[in-house]
Structure 1
Amino acid sequence: MPDTQRATRRTQRSLSPIWIVPLVAVLIGAWMIYDNLSRLGPSITLIMDNAEGIEAGKTLIKTRNVEVGRVEMVNLSDDLGHALITARMSPEAERMLNDETRFWVVKPRIGREGVSGLGTVLSGAYIQLLPGSGETRQDEFTVLEQPPVAPPDAPGLRVNLVSQVGNAITTGDPVTYQGYTVGRVEDSRFDPEKREMRHLLYIQAPYDVLVTSTTRFWTASGVDIRLDSQGFRVNVGSLESLVGGGVTFGVPENAAMGHPAKAGSTFLLFADEDSANEGSYDDYLEFVLLVDDTIRGLAPGAPVEYRGVRVGTVISAPWNFSAPQPDSLSRFAIPVLIRIEPQRFDDSLEEIDTQEWYQRLDRMFNNGLRASLKAGNLLTGALFVDLNFHQDVVPFQRMNFVERPVFPTTSGSFAQIEQKVSNLLDKFNNLEVEPILSTLNETLATTRQSMEKVNSIAASVDALLADPATGRMPENVNGTLRQLRDTLQGFAPDSQGYNELTQTLARLEQLMRDLQPVIRTLNDQPNALIFDKKLSEDPQPRAPH
């Protein structure tokens, strides 16, 4: 019986085509997840005092008006002191996140420099990113309350200002040079330990070369009105400084330009331009005036002048009033502290020899140099110190007052006027008034008699004018003039009288011509009218010898 072979049944397991679709979907989903994760940018945290206008999922983060992130969550901090903003940035924004990056909220603002952020009225507020150039990676940032004046790497110069409390300089105020805005105040902070204000100024390029080692900064007030011993002055700043003030700078007229300032240099902020100019005179000589006159109207800062040229400044009036005086037994003078500033004489003087100048002034004291108070403005009564040489003054002995040399003084103009008035009154008192009064009475009596005569003459003139005949006199004169005019008209060239007169004159002329031979005969022979006229013999010529 042949072997019967039986077939073996084997089951083959194969992947059904129906599973291809879910596998492809899984692969596509995994790829999409990977793609999303690879495209997902870094997450950062923004710290704000107030999250006004910030909405999760809506508020954008932009730089140069290009979206680089979006706010995901808005929460409060654990201590409830500020708001924490979680934002997701785009991958290309990761290289912008460093320790110099700045964030601030763009929304409608009305400031001294104008209105900004009006475009966010309809679109809503957004967060502006200013990329930094730092090397340290950072994921947590504090949002600024105000937009920064300039990027940290902006070309220009940043300097520090130190000032006393009381100025109105704030962040964003303009920095001007001769009325033109060249920068801004970036930061203003108060140092409680040193009790002073510190300001950070940014001067944009190319105006940073204007700031040198001799530059002076002062507060730019909107309107500066002064009425002092130097007259009436009005200074008006720019429109922006009128609203909020600012800072201005320049080089004093008596100072050299100096070398360019370095970044981070510190300068002193003065109250005004005059204070800044005065601050450039850092070498000076201090003297004390012992004034016998009143110092009412003499204020600190008043000028010390020599024949109209300013040579110093009044520092304090009075100064150490209760200190013992060198000659307190003979007088009670008012001490006034002044400074003589030799740098005003020569702009090139950077340092002065103090002893040499003290010796030079001592020689001037011996030659009659004295100080006195004079009125600089009659309207306000402001005084200034005038230096001049005087003759016949008491020799000055050098002395000190509270370790300061004393500058010799003399009576001021008002005291001199008072003395002259007093002397004039004394002369009046010494005059013999009675003889003068008697002479004056006689003069008045004579004057009275003269006035009586004048009144009598005036009465006679009035009576003459009141006479009717005097009133008719003009009519008589007019009648006479009319008759004379009529008479003259009768002798006009075309009148009959004129013709008759002409004919008469002609006959008279003819008669005179006829009488000429008779007159000539009578001249030759007066008896010719009685006797016959003698005939003259013919002349006989003489024979020659």
Structure 2
Amino acid sequence: MVRPRVDAGGISGLGTVLSGAYIGVDAGHSRETETHFTGLETPSAVRRDDDGARYVLHGDSLGSVDIGSPVYYRRVQVGRVSGVMLDKNGTGVSLDVFVDRQYQQYVGTNTRWWQASGLDLRLDANGLTLNTQSLAAVMLGGIAFQTPPGESIGTAEPDGAAFPLAQDETSAMRHADGPTAPVVMKFTQSLRGLTVGAPVDFRGIQLGEVTRIGVEFDPKTREFTLPVALNLYPERLGRRYLESVQHSDANAGKALLLKLVASGLRGQLRTGNLLTNQLYIALDMFPKAPPARVDLNVQPIELPTVPNTLEELQVQIADIAKKLDQVPFEQLGHNLNEALQNADRLLRQLDTQLTPQARDTLASAEKTFSAANAVLQQDSPMQADMHEALTQLTQTLRSLNALADYLEQHPESLVWGKAKSGQ
């Protein structure tokens, strides 16, 4: 039925405003004659003479996509949505998309499809992320497809091939992660800021995501714990890890997990964005962490955790504050005041009693030094007497020196005496 219509494909049927609605016909490919037909409420988005290929996309929800919504490849419109339907089991939706013949070569086994509807605005532990296609996709919705960077398109897919439909480009471009390993971690501190879908990080590499957040009460300890369910992707640990596990027996992975936990593998809540206070879970090695036991017979496996560094700092500050609160500051202040008063009295006593005595002692010492200075001056009597005594001592030494020379020449004079002149 052709009537005025505004949809994702644009505005059509304006001529029927004056002429009235009419029935449109599009010829089919069958050669058999038919006289009974079922009319469509909305015109088909693909006509008989349109050249291209059809593909089927399976997703969780339709979003804002509708029949006639554009299909983009690298932000260039290459096709349109030709049909939408709800899956029979009600768990998802299926979309028929049509890609023009000249762009069909870009659809292969490695092609990823996602909803490009509206604004893809995300605020999480990774910060603020905004992705969009064109203005038409923002307003009317659309589908986009592309091959992940670094990968080839792969083998061309035939008409009618099916693909999964992701909610956004980030999810679509994510590498295949293989089987998941569900685990659970239990925390005691507040989980405010942690949301479902928050990343699980190992030294900058995202190994998984949060799938569920709950609360449990332990009647034995009468305490609450906050279990967080996670999906980990072991294949993200790298090629060598996979090779070591694949070439070992079935218990190799469990043995490796026990070894890592014994070496300090723990989960910890951390702040991913200071602006939004979003939290994420970090897996890391804590060699000084208390020993922990892992029960491999319980599913999902519970991994041990350690408190957040900020939480530990807050506890330490609280302990310090509690200890400071026990210090008798009032008594210490009273004792300090008494000590200062005693010191003041002692200084005053020194000033009144010892200072005069010290002044007298200094005056006596000054007199002694003055007398010594007077004695040692060059024009003093003592200096003259000492000079005369030194002169006489010098003469005496000269006489002794002459006597010694004479005795050395006339030793007999010690017996006979000094010889007279002429003998």
Residues in 2 aligned to 1:342 and 1:269: alpha-carbon distance in whole angstroms: 24
Q: Which residue of 2 aligns with 1:209?
A: 105
Normalised by the length of structure 2, the TM-score is 0.67
Pairing 1:118-517 to 2, within 5 Å after superposition? 118=14, 128-152=24-48, 154-165=50-61, 167-252=63-148, 257-277=153-173, 280-318=176-214, 321=216, 329=221, 332-346=224-238, 353=246, 356-400=252-296, 403-429=299-325, 431=327, 433=329, 437=333
Structure (1 or 2) with the larger CA radius of gyration: 1
Larger relative contact order (CA 8 Å, sep ≥ 6): 2
Any idea what the Cα deviations from partners look like across 1:418-456, whole Å, max 9, x if unmatched? 2221232144246563586469869999xxxxxxxxxxx
8 A Cα contact 2:8 2:141, kept in partner: no
Q: Which residue of 2 aligns with 1:79?
A: none
Unaligned runs of 5+ in 1: 1-103, 446-545
Residues in 2 aligned to 1:348 and 1:229: alpha-carbon distance in whole angstroms: 29
8 A Cα contact 2:8 2:140, kept in partner: yes
8 A Cα contact 2:27 2:48, kept in partner: no
Report the count of equivalent residues.
Answer: 337
Q: Which residue of 2 aligns with 1:23?
A: none
| Residue range with higher mean Cα deviation, 155-164 or 124-133 | 124-133
Residues in 1 aligned to 2:83 and 2:168: alpha-carbon distance in whole angstroms: 21
Q: Would the alpha carbon gap of residues 254 and 369 (structure 1) be closer, same or farther in structure 2, given more than 3 Å must change?
A: farther
Q: Which residue of 2 aligns with 1:17?
A: none
Any idea what the Cα deviations from partners look like across 1:100-155, whole Å, max 9, x if unmatched? xxxx63x5443333333456666776655433332323333334433333335743
Q: Which residue of 2 aligns with 1:470?
A: none
Q: Would the alpha carbon gap of residues 258 and 439 (structure 1) be closer, same or farther in structure 2, given more than 3 Å must change?
A: farther
**Cα distance, 1:186 vs structure 2:** 0.6
**Cα distance, 1:275 vs structure 2:** 3.7
Q: Percent identity?
A: 31
Q: Would the alpha carbon gap of residues 274 and 443 (structure 1) be closer, same or farther in structure 2, given more than 3 Å must change?
A: farther
**Cα distance, 1:200 vs structure 2:** 0.9
Any idea what the Cα deviations from partners look like across 1:206-229, whole Å, max 9, x if unmatched? 322333333332222212322221
8 A Cα contact 1:375 1:383, kept in partner: yes
Normalised by the length of structure 1, the TM-score is 0.54
Residues in 1 aligned to 2:79 and 2:93: alpha-carbon distance in whole angstroms: 19
8 A Cα contact 1:229 1:376, kept in partner: yes
Unaligned runs of 5+ in 2: 342-423
